[in-house]
Amino acid sequence: MDHQTIIFEQHSHTAVITLNRPEVLNAVNSQLCAEVGAALETVANDTSIRVVIITGAGSKAFCVGADLKAVAAGEFGSEEQAGEWGFAGICKHYINKPIIAAVNGLALGGGTEIVLATDIVVASESASFGLTEVTLGLIAGAGGILRLPRQIPEKIAARMIFEGEAMSAAEAAKWGLVNEVVPADEVMANAMAIAEKIASNSPVAVRMSKDVFYRGLDAPLDFPPTARALNQKYVNELMLTEDAAEGARAFVEQRKPQWNDS
């Protein structure tokens, strides 16, 4: 596919999606929504891809949210204009393969909402995060208000949402929004190292683990034991796969497992 707003690459079992509008700090328009959404569909359906990294082009920003010039012109802003996969093609787009955000700079407004829609976050020391929409008379309508208090303490989330101020990468890591904070020139290398560790595991086991992880978050653990029933369903299915048998064989034979990509 000929992309205008992103770069899509594959390195072994890892795909990299780079938001490629550095001239506007990787601000999101309708075209970017469509291209990221299509790229994530490729990731979801390509059995050779086990992990995806999302990052931004340039050294200043991961993404500063919606392209306000496009919003002011009426070209972008509504859910219909964002398309079926939501803001940036990711905010309403679940795939059961791990998504790593490699945050190379500012992640403001919708940029933070993209981060919240990923699974693991590696951030530059110079990165910052914030749901800044209220300072512009808007709200974080792409899921940020819903996701933030599920990922950091409620009181911290409330202040962040109501004040609209950004927090540093170090503070974001303190509250659990970020996994690792590293020098700017090490962000992609660290993200790739995490991706390679994930990709070395059984693809089917990782996919099922992600499904159970998210489906179980809002399911009761014991009364009724909905989450446990969900967990057992996936365990039963996994034990019938070739990867489950291969993992046990490889352990006994003291060799590296040969996973099935299907």
pLDDT in tens, 88-106: 999 999 999 999 999 999 9
pLDDT on residue 26: 97
Residues 6+ apart with CB under 8 A from 205: 238, 243, 244, 247
Which residue is catalytic, options 35, 80, 113, 196?
113
Per-residue pLDDT tens over the stretch 37-55: 999 999 999 999 999 999 9
pLDDT on residue 72: 81
Q: Is the pLDDT of residue 262 over 90?
A: no
pLDDT band at residue 68 using 50, 70 and 90 as cut-offs: confident
2: left (phi over 0), alpha (psi -120 to 50) or beta: beta
Strands 120-124 and 99-103: parallel
> Has domain 203-253 been given CATH number 1.10.12?
yes
Q: Is the pLDDT of residue 80 over 80?
A: no
Region 131-136: mean pLDDT is: 94
pLDDT band at residue 73 using 50, 70 and 90 as cut-offs: confident
Residue type, 198: I
pLDDT on residue 38: 97
Indicate the average pLDDT of the chain: 94
User: What CATH code would you report for 6-199?
Assistant: 3.90.226.10
Domains 6-199 and 203-253 in one fold: no
Region 13-31: mean pLDDT is: 96
Q: Does the active-site annotation cover 133?
A: yes
Q: Is the pLDDT of residue 77 over 80?
A: no
Which residue is catalytic, options 79, 80, 133, 180?
133
Per-residue pLDDT tens over the stretch 175-218: 999 999 999 999 999 999 999 999 999 999 999 999 999 999 99
Tally of residues, the chain: 262
Instruction: Give percent of the chain above pLDDT 90.
Output: 89
Domain regions of the chain by residue span: 6-199, 203-253
Q: Does the active-site annotation cover 180?
A: no
